[in-house]
Amino acid sequence: MTTFNKISQAIVDSDPGQAISLVETAMGNDTPAVDILNKGLLAGMEIVGEKMESEEMFIPEVLMSANAMSQCVDVLKPHLSEEDTGQTKKVVIGTVQGDLHDIGKNLVSMLMESAGMEIYDLGVDVPPDAFVEKISEIKPEIVGISALLTTTMPAMQQTVEAISEAGLREQVKIMVGGAPVTQGFCDEIGADVFAPDANAAAKMAKAL
């Protein structure tokens, strides 16, 4: 098993100690940081994503793997250029006003960050004007809006409308998700993308 495969396996096994040790050893052997990122860490998260889709791994395990990945990226960051990380996309993400659920949103954030995107997580219970303010400030390519309650789904529409009224709608792709959200609702409120799960959200964000 190559060093890259061992790093990938440590990510799949949600073992940050082992993963960091392997990353540090690889760097000590003058392995390019970008190769450690792409062939080891990101390859491991690809496997995690596939296992989540096939229900071999579940959200708690995926969160632990994403956390292990995040710790390794922190070790690598000083040795990576912006070109290496591919951080060409900024993403603003948050759970809509009135909704305090964050597990799905956090998972999406971690998977997107693992894919090299720059994440601005506004947290939960986020009013429409807070989305507008952050979009104006950092000019992201993608805005991710989450709701887990049917009672808070109207806040998604209000957020999309607020972004439009602020004249920012053409600048961003709006992605929506959460248990009660459907493709039909996405179309109805004028969002761009419906993501049925966290892994799909990360893949779609990369493809946009």
For residues 89 and 106, give the distance between their C-alpha atoms in angstroms, rounded to a whole number: 18
Q: Is 157 helix (H, G, I), strand (E, B) or coil?
A: helix
Q: Is 175 helix (H, G, I), strand (E, B) or coil?
A: strand
Confidence (pTM): 0.78
Mean pLDDT for the stretch of residues 184-192:
97
Tally of CB atoms within 10 A around 130: 17
pLDDT digits (tens, 9 = 90+) for 22-66: 999 999 999 998 899 889 998 999 899 889 889 999 888 988 998
The CATH fold assigned to 3-81 is 1.10.1240
Numbers of helices and strands, H then E, in the chain:
11, 5
Residue 91 β-bridge partners: 119, 142
Structure-block tokens of residue 191: 């969002």
Burial grade of 74 (CB within 10 A; 0-12, 13-18, 19 or more): exposed
HSE, CB side, 13 Å, CA atoms: give it for residue 69: 32
Residue 120 DSSP symbol: E
Domain assignments of the chain as residue spans, ordered by start: 3-81, 87-207
- Are 101 and 123 in contact by the 8 Å Cβ rule? The answer is no
For residues 95 and 40, give the distance between their C-alpha atoms in angstroms, rounded to a whole number: 31
Closest of 178, 176, 172 to residue 89, by C-alpha: 172
Closest of 78, 76, 44, 74 to residue 61, by C-alpha: 44
Closest of 139, 128, 126 to residue 173, by C-alpha: 139
Rounded to the nearest integer, the mean pLDDT of the chain is: 92
Residue 176 β-bridge partners: 145, 194
Q: Is 8 helix (H, G, I), strand (E, B) or coil?
A: helix
Express as a percent the part of the chain with pLDDT over 90: 69
pLDDT for res 133: 98
pLDDT digits (tens, 9 = 90+) for 128-166: 999 999 999 999 999 999 999 999 999 999 999 999 999
Structure-block tokens of residue 183: 């493709």
Query: Under CATH, domain 87-207 is a member of which superfamily?
Result: Cobalamin-binding domain (3.40.50.280)
